[in-house]
Structure 1
Amino acid sequence: MIGVIADDMTGATDVAAALRRAGLRTLLVLGTELDEHAGPADGIVIGLKTRSLPVEEAVAQSLAALTVLRRQGADRIYVKYCSTFDSTDEGNIGPITEAIADALRADLVVTTPAAPLHGRTVYRGHLFVGDVLLAETHMRDHPVTPMRDSSVPRLLAAQCTAPVGLLPLDVVQRDADSVREVMRRSRAEGIRHLVADAVTDADLAVLADAVDGEILVAGSAGLVGAMALRETAAGATAPTPPSGRTAIIAGSCSRRTLEQIDRFVGSGGPAHRVVAEPGDTAEELAARAVEWWEHLPSDADALLYSSTPAAERRQDVPGAGELYEQAAGLIASQLSDRGVKRLLVAGGETSGEVVRALGTTVAVVGEEVAPGAPWIHDEERDVHLVLKSGNFGEEDLFVEVAAQGRTA
């Protein structure tokens, strides 16, 4: 069984979608609590919130997740990180990977952020987003993890104590035996992290063949998705969300989420913008939003959002980001208490706060509404959620998901 440790919530749903796409019955665990009666699974994904934590705390949580996965019978472990390699010189990708490698006594870890499905490719160790080098994208000015180098080996070496090597594209495109030979030589040379080039799904398939039998692999959802295609699937039916109104909760300020908001509002969909004034609490913001919801027609889908373009963000509300995230969690919890069973949440930090507020610990993964954004079913609370990375989905995603609820 494949066990995955993901460093944020939307990344966890992205990789869970990749396993489900391969036909595997997949459980998504949000945190490190997993009941023995969660049901059979071909793959288990544990979603943490370790991307920007202090290194020691991130490593400790990841090792706790490893213990859970091994107890559940996972015989292959995958460390999942963002396909734009979101990190700093201190980590946390390198330290987490090395700590898990030490725990598993793995002397070599093949790793790649390549995910052609999402337009992420690696060539000569350099990470591209579409046809643009990572360091030339919007990620250059990310407020938490500014990515100003496109070389994955250099980025990883800055975070690791062990040597980092490169598995070049010409070897990958030769065959799996050639890849295994480079892996053998890398082990002999003391290289512990081997960054693999990959530009197509066929390249990922070769890598998946080559790492078959390795106890530890790392990367984005791309490589583990290729690995999943080689697994024997149980063939369980995926959960399907019921018909009914959809609540869309958006906190991401990414360009794609802002486009999705504009398209939903432009289509005539009701929308409430969550705006904090100095002194407002999360409880007050949530109360106003839920009161607005309750005055809508009983069958109306609606959008509740704090997302704003950078130029419109207020500077007079200290800690506004955390305030909006807490409000989003309260809104989601209160709407669920009122019988809403379809929630689409946009943004990684927002998603993390929503699942915390809902108390969701284990969910069964269903079909995708967009690549990397599946429905997940919290069976205990009986709510279906999409936890969407800010940049995922086409512009019409909010409109289409709401429309599906009226025709399901």
Structure 2
Amino acid sequence: MKPQIAIIADDLTGAGDSAVQFVRCGWETQLYVGGSEDAFALGDMQAEVVSVNSNSRAMSPQAAAEAVAREMQTFRKHDVRHVFKKVDSTLRGAFAAEIEAARSQWHENAIAVVCPAYPDTGRTVEQGVLLVNGVPVTETSAGTDPVTPVTESSVPALLDCKLISPQYDDTPASLAEKIGESGSIVVVDARSDADLKRLAQAIVLLGERALPVGAGGLAMAMAAAWAGSHISGEIVLAVVTSQHSATRAQVAALQKQGATVLTPEPEALADDSVWQQWQRDQLAGQTLVQGSNSVLVVLAPVAQQPGLSSAVVALRLGQFALEVVRTGQVRGLIATGGDGAEQVMSALQATGIRLIDEVSGGVPLGTLIGGEYAGMPIVTKAGGFGAENVLIQAAETLRERKFK
């Protein structure tokens, strides 16, 4: 197996904390103690993502640049599609020299997109200044590091490059346009995981010429963004048969995030000819074409109809799920309510689920076994279970994880 993505870190722990972000997003990942030449020479590489250590943290700028250049040359020789350059989240080491060496070896028109923010550990980049829990990095212990003391908190000043401070209304596309017009190295502010997610999506839009440079925060966002770019289909389809108030609140939260919710009338569900026409109307309309990252929820009605059992409702919604999947637009499924989950799997002729992980406690994630749609990702959830945002988390997982 040829690796698609390479991570080049300046020390072993950095190589590890970035690599694990890709594991969490479903990438087959291997971490090597040494460099890329050693990794390929061992002949046991069975990974989509390879993380290596240039061991250059304490080197002089020239030596560090040469070490990083060697790693980049090896990965270019082996046709790696993407490189993530891991740097220290407190700017230690030969920061500028390593970034320029990586950029110059990547592509002729490469852009190094730099953001060492890692909000989960208190690192943010605001107006170009790296803050650690709100304090400029030079005023922390990194400023007095005995081996590689940090003397500058402004990342653009360190790199002599432009800064982009994204605006609230910036989209990944508009941010990508700004980055593309800002020179060969650009620093981008980020205060939150949402900022990093938007930046990662912009980097994907820039294509292979973009070289993301950062710490574990950007690594996590890139792992999800690159995974999402490998998934076919645009729609996450949720089938909800549960009448539990917890599930209804979860659907409402998902709808507030922009999901489309379809609730067929009981009269349509009770009559076969009316039901068939309802399905045709939905499939012929624009409901299923909401663009990238859309979520479609098919929700059982609360109202009752004489002679309409919950089993028939689940059967109908399972049938409609199959018709939606047949459009080729579905990238993953969510099934809430045991009867609905069973009918969705029956309609798709799936015989089981290969379990992979949990979206959250008690909400399993897997891929379908058997049938024409074997391998399609699916999340199942009991009706009265989970926090209010659990369906939002499930949809994000299906969009941002790589599946076999």
What is the TM-score with the length of structure 1 in the denominator? 0.51
Match of residue 178, structure 1, among 166, 174, 177: 174
Deviation string, structure 1 residues 225-261 (Cα, Å, up to 9, x no partner): 2111123499xxxxxxxxxxxxxxxxxxxxxxxxxxx
Question: Quick one: distance in 1 between partners of 2:221 and 2:180?
Answer: 22
The residue type paired with residue 78 of structure 1 is: F
Match of residue 111, structure 2, among 88, 105, 108: 108
CA distance change for structure 1 residues 232 and 206 in 2, over 3 Å: closer, same or farther?
closer
Q: Secondary structure at the match of 1:170?
A: coil
Matches within 5 A, 1:8-407: 8-32=11-35, 33-34=38-39, 35=41, 37-87=43-93, 92-104=94-106, 105-157=108-160, 164-170=161-167, 174-186=170-182, 191-212=183-204, 213-215=207-209, 216-232=211-227
Is the contact between residue 124 and residue 169 of structure 1 (CA under 8 Å) also seen in structure 2?
no
CA distance change for structure 1 residues 221 and 106 in 2, over 3 Å: closer, same or farther?
farther
1:39 Cα offset (Å): 3.3
CA distance change for structure 1 residues 58 and 221 in 2, over 3 Å: closer, same or farther?
same
Is the contact between residue 44 and residue 69 of structure 1 (CA under 8 Å) also seen in structure 2?
no
1:26 Cα offset (Å): 0.8
CA distance change for structure 1 residues 231 and 217 in 2, over 3 Å: closer, same or farther?
closer
Deviation string, structure 1 residues 67-115 (Cα, Å, up to 9, x no partner): 332344411112111000113xxxx222222222222223421111011
Is the contact between residue 196 and residue 221 of structure 2 (CA under 8 Å) also seen in structure 1?
yes
Aligned match of 1:3: 6
Aligned match of 2:306: none
Deviation string, structure 1 residues 177-200 (Cα, Å, up to 9, x no partner): 2212212321xxxx2211010011
Question: Quick one: distance in 2 between partners of 1:125 and 1:214?
Answer: 25
1:125 Cα offset (Å): 0.4
Q: Secondary structure at the match of 1:194?
A: strand
1:141 Cα offset (Å): 1.2
Is the contact between residue 22 and residue 220 of structure 2 (CA under 8 Å) also seen in structure 1?
yes
1:149 Cα offset (Å): 2.6
Alpha-carbon RMSD across the aligned residues, in angstroms, is 2.2
CA distance change for structure 1 residues 133 and 63 in 2, over 3 Å: closer, same or farther?
same
Is the contact between residue 30 and residue 48 of structure 1 (CA under 8 Å) also seen in structure 2?
no
1:36 Cα offset (Å): 6.0
The residue type paired with residue 174 of structure 2 is: S
The residue type paired with residue 210 of structure 1 is: A
Instruction: Mark the structure with the bigger radius of gyration.
Output: 2
Is the contact between residue 5 and residue 50 of structure 2 (CA under 8 Å) also seen in structure 1?
yes
Deviation string, structure 1 residues 12-65 (Cα, Å, up to 9, x no partner): 111111111222111112222023632321211111210121223222221221
Q: How many aligned positions are there?
A: 220
Q: Secondary structure at the match of 2:226?
A: coil
Which structure's relative contact order is higher, taking Cα pairs within 8 Å and 6+ residues apart?
A: 1
